[in-house]
């Protein structure tokens, strides 16, 4: 099937299409329950048989030359009507992703990190999209990073379960309950910069079960979050190591700045003298991958390079 064959067909696009729910028949003592019909089979099997992923994305207008650069007459799919239309017919604002450029950016960043070498943990706050995250993981990323608990929940719901870092302190009963629930489904690492944060996570996990890995966050001049000295990092790490249901892994900082090298070296040395784990020394920032390596990090976090 050619892309042009899709021109006059109405093709619902998940998650914007909302198929009606149907009542399932009760089984035994079970109560009737609602379930979704087989959405993919019902709507896509006939229309897209024999169409490649790239051809479908091209028909949907996702393989174009980018915002404002798509050629007149290029095909797109309206998120509102689900009908294939031209770029000129899209209502604004509309986001258009150039798949070729996206794949090129992902590939080149991974090649750069492989050359340095330093493992890449991709930050998904740039796109918040499990499919793009999977593209990055397939290219060679060692894990993902989610700035918010809600972003991590989206990634897990999208089928990503391994090596998820949430580099922001999680506090408050509602978020702690959600964190404990998510920790039973995925392998999570969280950042802490206070005993209060670490103790709250530990106590919630003791009540609900499960465990998480922990990185102590160190401020190396970014003036954002984190403990304020190498000695403070060690003291907090020692407290974390004694709390139930928490696995201390090392420490992290952001952004990676070459000026922070003396602070990083002192922190690494103090961790070693105290017998604390250094499985992860995490730096971050797109464009700072080589700096992360120079600082002694064994993983770097980058995200905005995708677009």
**Interval 23-34: pLDDT, tens:** 343 434 444 444
> Which one has a higher pLDDT value, 79 or 165?
165
What was the pLDDT predicted at 78?
A: 53
For residues 200 and 176, is the Cβ–Cβ distance under 8 A?
yes
CATH of domain 99-306: 3.20.20.10
**Interval 88-112: pLDDT, tens:** 788 888 888 888 999 999 999 999 9
Whether the predicted pLDDT of 83 surpasses 80: no
What was the pLDDT predicted at 82?
A: 61
**Domains in the chain: boundaries:** 3-89, 99-306
As a whole number of angstroms, the distance between CA 168 and CA 229 comes to: 18
> Which one has a higher pLDDT value, 90 or 230?
230
DSSP bridge partners of 164 = 144, 188
> Which one has a higher pLDDT value, 82 or 151?
151
- DSSP H helical ranges for the chain: 39-48, 53-59, 99-115, 130-139, 149-157, 173-183, 195-208, 230-241, 261-273, 289-294
**Interval 36-78: pLDDT, tens:** 333 333 333 333 444 455 554 454 444 333 333 344 455 555 5
Whether the predicted pLDDT of 35 surpasses 90: no
For residues 256 and 285, is the Cβ–Cβ distance under 8 A?
yes
As a whole number of angstroms, the distance between CA 127 and CA 133 comes to: 8
**Interval 244-302: pLDDT, tens:** 999 999 999 999 999 999 999 999 999 999 999 999 999 999 999 999 999 999 999 99
Percent of the chain with pLDDT over 90: 66
Predicted TM-score of the model (pTM): 0.74
Q: Which helix (H) or strand (E) holds 302?
A: strand 299-302
Name the least confident of 70-74, 132-136, 173-177.
70-74
**Interval 214-227: pLDDT, tens:** 999 999 998 889 99
**Count of C-beta atoms within a 10 Å radius of residue 104:** 11
Percent of the chain with pLDDT over 70: 73
């Amino acid at each position: 099937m050619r892309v042009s064959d899709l021109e006059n067909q109405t093709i619902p696009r998940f998650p914007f299409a909302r198929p009606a729910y149907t009542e399932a028949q009760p089984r035994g003592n079970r109560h009737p329950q609602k379930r979704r019909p087989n959405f993919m089979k019902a709507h896509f099997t006939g229309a897209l048989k024999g169409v490649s992923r790239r051809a479908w994305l091209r028909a949907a207008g996702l393989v174009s030359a980018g915002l404002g650069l798509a050629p007149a007459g290029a095909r797109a799919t309206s998120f509102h009507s689900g009908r294939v239309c031209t770029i000129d017919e899209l209502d604004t604002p509309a986001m258009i992703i150039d798949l070729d450029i996206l794949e090129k950016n992902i590939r080149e960043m991974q090649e750069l990190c492989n050359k340095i070498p330093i493992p890449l943990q991709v930050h998904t706050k740039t796109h918040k999209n499990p499919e793009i995250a999977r593209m990055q993981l397939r290219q060679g990323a060692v894990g993902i990073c989610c700035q918010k608990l809600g972003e991590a929940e989206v990634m897990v719901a999208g089928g990503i379960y391994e090596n998820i870092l949430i580099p922001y302190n999680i506090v408050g009963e509602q978020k702690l309950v959600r964190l404990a629930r998510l920790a039973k489904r995925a392998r999570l690492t969280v950042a802490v910069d206070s005993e209060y944060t670490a103790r709250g996570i530990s106590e919630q996990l003791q009540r609900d079960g499960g465990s998480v890995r922990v990185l102590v966050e160190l401020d190396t001049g970014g003036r954002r979050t984190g403990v304020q000295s190498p000695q403070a990092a060690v003291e907090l790490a020692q407290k974390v190591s004694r709390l139930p249901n928490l696995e201390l892994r090392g420490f992290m900082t952001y952004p990676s700045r070459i000026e922070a090298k003396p602070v990083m070296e002192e922190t690494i040395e103090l961790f070693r003298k105290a017998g604390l784990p250094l499985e992860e020394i995490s730096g971050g920032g797109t464009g700072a991958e080589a700096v992360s390596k120079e600082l002694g990090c064994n993983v770097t976090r980058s995200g905005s390079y995708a677009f």
